[in-house]
Amino acid sequence: MPEEKPNKENTENNKPKTPAVEETSSTTKHSITLKGEKIDYSVTTGTIVLNEEDVEEGLKQKASIFFVAYIKDNAPEDRPVTFSFNGGPGSSSVWLHLGLVGPKRVQMTDEGKPIGPPHQLVDNEFSLLDKTDLVFIDPVSTGYSRPVPKEKPDQFHNVKTDIESVGEFIRVWTTRNKRWTSPKFLIGESYGTTRAAGLAGYLHQRHGMYLNGIMFVSSILNFITARFDEGNDLPFILFLPSYAATAWYHKKLAEDLQADLEKTVQEARDFALNEYTLALMKGNQLKGEEREKVINKLARLTGLSKKYIEGTNLRINIHRFCKELLRDEGVTIGRLDSRYKGFDQDNVGEMHEIDPSYAAILGPYTSTMYDYLRRDLEYETDLPYEILKSLYQSWKYENYQNHYVNTAKDLRLGFQLHPGLKVIVCNGYFDLATPFLATEYTFGHIPLPKVQQKNIKMTYYQAGHMMYLHLPSLKELSKDLHDFIEDAV
């Protein structure tokens, strides 16, 4: 007797269904005094499950997004709300959350050096909570955000879907909390500025959600400005003033250049955009006295030897610079913040082994975030909080095949749809990850009418990528952001 074959349809129906992922939530009450005013506020910590519309299955769960929302008690319904995230790609929102924007910040020295362990949080007198409600978002695979079971995480790990998933979270949160008529802001840092520019186009066009303003902290929108690829001379030009600022900080320049940082930066900026650009454009045709003149000027502005610059073919890679500037002292300098010093296994390597500026903040921000979420915000889970997951190498750029990522065009679309959009761009002189001249170049090449160009404000601080680590810069930055929000509302 032949064996009866199982009915495929029945087999599929008999498969156990994956249980739906439940959303989580914890709400706590707090207060803080900012500029003499006591502010009572509620914090909701939890997850929102993002769904995808499916013709056969209806709503299909895709990802669980973790967030922390600070809402001022008894405030008008049209109070501004700001959505905040960091970059990476692969970073949680912890840095802006506990460094600049939120009502608590990690206690550091005035110069930004760690205190402890153990590490502590203190009230953040520079928080933006007096001006706006705050929502901190952890994109998929960061913080406590995860894809739902059977959904692959890498589907969210590309420029386009990252923007779409964060944009969908913003839409859902805004709808549930009845905040469509509130003034809305984004604040992003590093790759978070790439995302914020993308959202400027996406939110305006896809959801009709117009933003009042975007705050860019340590910006990178056009990746051609920061990729030291063979044949791409642009980064060598655009990083030069940041090298000069770094050499100034470590006292590696001539006496006249050490006298005034602003003048030194301007001299480097002028040289980079004129003689140095023309020199690199000539390639192998740059010879003799003209070449020697450029080498001498590069040595003057970077603190590196003429022999070393000659060996680089007049093109100084950022990672090599971090190793070379203080090689004679046996130390390396930070990429995120070149004020920080570190050391390697030996002193003959081409590039540094770790970034000492990242090593200085990883422990303090990690331990305080874990403690704060469970102790103060009463959110309980045994998942690891992914502070900064390494997604850089696996991040996908399908929509940018054969050319560099550039979300500046999405920001332009945001301006086209909403000409009244306001933007502030915050730069650190000692930031060797997203240097200020590269940012100036990017924003200076967005084709906008003069009226919209006036809506973009640039600010500068004597600090690094996370300029809020430096207390004097934190004070300046907070004031600039407060003034910006007030103006944009």
Beta-carbon contacts of residue 155 (< 8 Å; ≥ 6 apart): 147, 161
Query: Minimal CA–CA distance to 189: which of 414, 425, 406, 411?
Result: 425
CB 203 within 8 A of CB 412: no
Which residue, chain included where needed, has tokens 């959202």? Answer: 199
12 pLDDT band, cuts 50/70/90, is low
16 pLDDT band, cuts 50/70/90, is low
Count CB neighbours of 23 within 10 A. 11
pTM for this prediction? 0.94
Q: What is the pLDDT of residues 80-124, one digit of tens each?
A: 999 999 999 999 999 999 999 999 999 999 999 999 899 999 999
SS3 category, 443: helix
Maximal C-alpha separation, the chain? 100
Half-sphere exposure of 418 (CA within 13 A, CB side): 22
Rounded CA-CA distance 395/389 in Å is 11
In 312-441, beta strands by DSSP E: 332-333, 341-342, 422-428
CATH architecture of 22-224+362-488: 3-Layer(aba) Sandwich (3.40)
CATH 3.40.50.1820 residue spans of the chain: 22-224+362-488
Q: What is the pLDDT of residues 331-374, one digit of tens each?
A: 999 999 999 999 999 888 888 899 999 999 999 999 999 999 99
> What does each C-alpha distance from 375 to 345, 378, 382, 397, 434 come to in angstroms?
39, 5, 14, 39, 35
Share of the chain above pLDDT 70, in %: 96
Q: What is the pLDDT of residues 148-202, one digit of tens each?
A: 999 999 999 999 999 999 999 999 999 999 999 999 999 999 999 999 999 999 9
1 pLDDT band, cuts 50/70/90, is very low
Mean pLDDT of the chain, nearest integer = 94
Please state the rounded mean pLDDT for residues 234-240: 98
pLDDT of residue 235: 98
Is residue 6 scored above 60 in pLDDT? no
Is residue 251 scored above 60 in pLDDT? yes
pLDDT of residue 77: 86
Q: What is the pLDDT of residues 52-81, one digit of tens each?
A: 987 667 789 999 999 999 999 999 989 999
Query: Minimal CA–CA distance to 318: which of 333, 297, 303?
Result: 333
* Token output for 139: 């994109």
> What does each C-alpha distance from 280 to 13, 22, 102 come to in angstroms?
66, 57, 44
pLDDT of residue 14: 60
Quickly list DSSP for 286-345: --HHHHHHHHHHHHHHH---HHHHHHTTT---HHHHHHHTTGGGT-EE-SS-TT-EE--S
Is residue 254 scored above 70 in pLDDT? yes
Q: What is the pLDDT of residues 380-394, one digit of tens each?
A: 999 999 999 877 677
SS3 category, 234: helix
